[in-house]
Amino acid sequence: MSPNDYFIKIIEAYHKARLPKYYHPDIKRGRSTSISSDLEDLTALWIAFNNPNQCSYFTDQPIKFEGSTTKYPDIVIQNNKTFEIKNLIDVKTDIGWNREGMYQFCEEWEKRIESVKNTNTSFRNGNGFFSDELTYHVLVISKMNSGKKIEADYEKVREELKNVKLYILSDRVHPNNYEFDIGETMDKILIHKNEFDRLISHIKKSK
């Protein structure tokens, strides 16, 4: 599965979310339904197709963090042989609401990740332990509608944080725009394939 395939499926999910779940000619939906769960599963699928390591991918699992409350990372990646967890994934479709920007969010996770390294954990479908190389990956689907600070926050995270990685996966056109159809959106959107490469390169190293 390529980055292009990934975005086609995202755009299709957004278009489908605008329709009533159950068809009747007289039912007209206003606000779209959420695609959060679709996006979690789709992102896990993309990683699974591109990661040669033998891993399991747990989506939207309540997972225990020692000394903290239960958290819900979008994806927990666990090695099938060692039960070690080295990567957690958080997918953001829209961060325009976050006026404080993404750096504060990432900084909080930087401290949380550092505090749980080499500790045991459990979740709905299993248990394991957090590696001393544990990394929290934050994937922002689009730069569009991501706030004025996103570029500065992106650079600051790269320069200052070691446990958290921030990615911006696309620009120019939001995959959930109402102006263009699916084909036109794919023609106009700028997919940052280097960001996909950076993400999967880090995960591949996590043997």
Residue-wise pLDDT tens digits, 110-126: 999 999 999 999 998 88
Q: Measured between alpha carbons, how far is 12 from 160 in angstroms, rounded to an integer?
A: 36
Range of the domain at 80: 3-205
Say what the pLDDT of residue 165 is: 98
The pLDDT tens digits for 7-53 are: 999 999 999 999 999 999 999 999 999 999 999 999 999 999 999 99
Q: Measured between alpha carbons, how far is 5 from 150 in angstroms, rounded to an integer?
A: 25
Provide the percentage of residues in the chain whose pLDDT is more than 90.
86
With both helix axes pointing from N to C terminus, report the angle between 36-50 and 3-17 in degrees, rounded to the nearest 10: 160
Q: How many domains does the chain have?
A: 1
Residue 10 CB neighbour total at 10 angstroms = 24
Say what the pLDDT of residue 131 is: 97
Contacts of 181 (CB under 8 A, 6+ apart): none
Whether the CB-CB separation of 88 and 135 falls below 8 Å is answered with yes
| Mean pLDDT, range 146-159, rounded to an integer | 91
Model pTM?
0.95
Say what the pLDDT of residue 207 is: 64
User: Amino acid identity of 67?
Assistant: G
Q: Dihedral of the CA atoms 60, 62, 65, 67 (nearest 10)?
A: 140
pLDDT at 68 over 80: no
pLDDT at 67 over 80: no
Mean per-residue pLDDT over the chain, rounded: 94
Say what the pLDDT of residue 98 is: 63
Residue 176 CB neighbour total at 10 angstroms = 21
For residue 51, give the nearest of 87, 83, 16 by alpha carbon.
Answer: 87
Through-space distance between the first and last CA atoms of the chain, rounded to whole angstroms:
21
